[in-house]
Copies of this chain bind each other. A is one copy, B any other.
Amino acid sequence: MSKIINRRGFASDNNSGVHPGILAALPKVNDGHVIAYGDDPYTEKASAQLRDIFGQETEVYFVFIGTAANVLGLSTVTQSYNAVICPETAHINADECGAPEKFSGCKLLTCNTPDGKLTVDMIASHMHGIGFEHHVQPRVVSITQATELGTVYTLDEIREIARYTHEHGMLLHMDGARISNAAVSLDCGFYEMTGGAGVDVLSFGGTKNGMMYGEAIIFFNPTLCEDFKYRRKQGMQLASKMRYIAAQFSAFLENDLWKENASHANRMARKLYAAVKDISGVEVTRQVESNAVFARIPSHIVPALQDEFFFYVWDEEVSEVRWMCSFDTTEADIEAFISLIRSKL
């Protein structure tokens, strides 16, 4: 797989490297000693930046990766006999090797969705057996923004899910691994789409948008996470030299670097979509609302395309592929890839 060394492709937004603005932030915090494990001024600064965005009463915790943000966020607000309702395509269900079950004990109750987005009706289909001890008890609804299929919940859709979720005594979790791409897509702020729309727990990700590592968990209600510090440590997610995660977040948020990166990635996806949607032999299969383009293409041309621009087949059976754009995808990449596709059809 490493034949074409370091060639940009469309495999994933975490195949890209680190944005220079993030990388440059690391040496700036490297001076001298600070208290390990987060009791340092850099961590305090990044936390304050996130509280400025999400609300002063918000609790902010840094962990290493998105899977951990999801799993620790969910396990903090559940007991082992609870259930989490989510789309079948959710990262927590399909891509975390059972970490939510292993760590929280909870069952995931999944919904088939046409577009990766839950609806109130889908959630409602799992709301039975409440108070019945033979059944797991739904406690959290988890949505992903932007979804694993590149679609984006509207603010109204989130608010409607939050309303139903809270009416039924549950909490709303958002996996925001691509939250920047969604915010740009909706042209709204982070808070509007999360706490402002009723989200209770947020995994706020940056690695897919130019960071090296590090994810933030945002609890909008501090009573939900009074013991979180123990859970993070026991969950093997307490970084000793936390200043380097904090520095990345500070750089990510300063001067709207997150927005610049995500806007670019989304624009590249739209450009790719605009070109391929009219190519005969390519059938775009999902709404292009963030930085992903899903399409069915003839399976026999897949290897030749992958040779030059690596990407993943999403669904072998129907030859549906996923093309992810990244903060560093160039217009030239898109143009070359389109030419390549045309040449193979």
Per-residue CB contact flags for chain A residues 101-118 toward chain B (1 = under 8 Å, else 0) read: 111011110000000000
Rounded to whole Å, the gap between the CB of A285 and the closest CB of chain B is 18
- A32–B6 CB distance below 8 A: yes
Closest to A75 in B: B80
Are A102 and B99 in touch, CB under 8 angstroms?
no
User: How near does chain B come to A290, taking the closest CB pair, in angstroms?
Assistant: 18
The answer on a CB contact under 8 Å between B240 and A14 is yes
A8 → chain B closest CB, angstroms: 5
Give Cα A151–Cα B132 distance, bound, in whole angstroms.
Answer: 25
List B contacts of A208 (CB < 8 A).
240
A105 adjacent to B98 (CB under 8 Å): yes
Q: Is the CB of A232 within 8 A of B98?
A: no
B-contacting 9-mer, from A22-30, A51-59, A185-193, A292-300: A22-30
Does any Cβ of B come within 8 Å of A39's Cβ? yes
Q: Is the CB of B31 within 8 A of A27?
A: no
Q: Are A101 and B103 in touch, CB under 8 angstroms?
A: no
User: Which residue of the partner chain, among B16, B35, B230, contacts A1 with CB atoms under 8 Å?
Assistant: B35
Q: With A and B bound together, what is the CA distance between A308 and B244 in angstroms? A: 24
Contacts of A216 in B (CB 8 A): none
User: A94-B135, A135-B95, A235-B236 known; A2 and B35 CB under 8 Å?
Assistant: yes
* Contact yes or no, B18 A65, CB < 8 A: no
- The verdict on A212 contacting B236 (CB below 8 Å), with A15-B33, A30-B23, A41-B5 known, is no
In the complex, A67 Cα to B236 Cα: how many Å?
Answer: 6
- The count of residues in chain A whose C-beta lies closer than 8 Å to any C-beta of chain B is 84
Greatest chain B CB density within 10 A among A2, A16, A35, A236 is at A236
Find out whether the CB atom of B105 lies under 8 angstroms from the CB atom of A101: yes
Q: Are B230 and A18 in contact (CB under 8 A)?
A: no
Q: Are A7 and B32 in contact (CB under 8 A)?
A: yes
* Chain B residues with CB below 8 A from A287, complex form: none
Residue of B nearest to A68 (CB): B236
> Is A234 a contact of B97 with CB atoms below 8 Å?
yes
CB of A326 to closest CB in B, whole Å: 8
Q: Is the CB of A133 within 8 A of B230?
A: yes
Judged by a CB distance under 8 angstroms, whether A156 is at the interface is no
Provide a sorted-by-A list of 12 A–B residue pairs whose CB atoms are within 8 angstroms. A14-B241, A17-B31, A71-B236, A81-B97, A81-B227, A81-B230, A97-B233, A98-B106, A98-B107, A133-B233, A207-B240, A236-B237
User: Could you tell me which A residues sit within 8 Å of B by CB distance?
Assistant: 1-2, 5-9, 11-12, 14-18, 20, 23, 26-27, 29-37, 39-41, 44, 64-65, 67-68, 71, 79-83, 94-99, 101-103, 105-108, 128, 133-137, 207-208, 212-213, 227, 229-241, 243-244, 310, 316, 326, 328
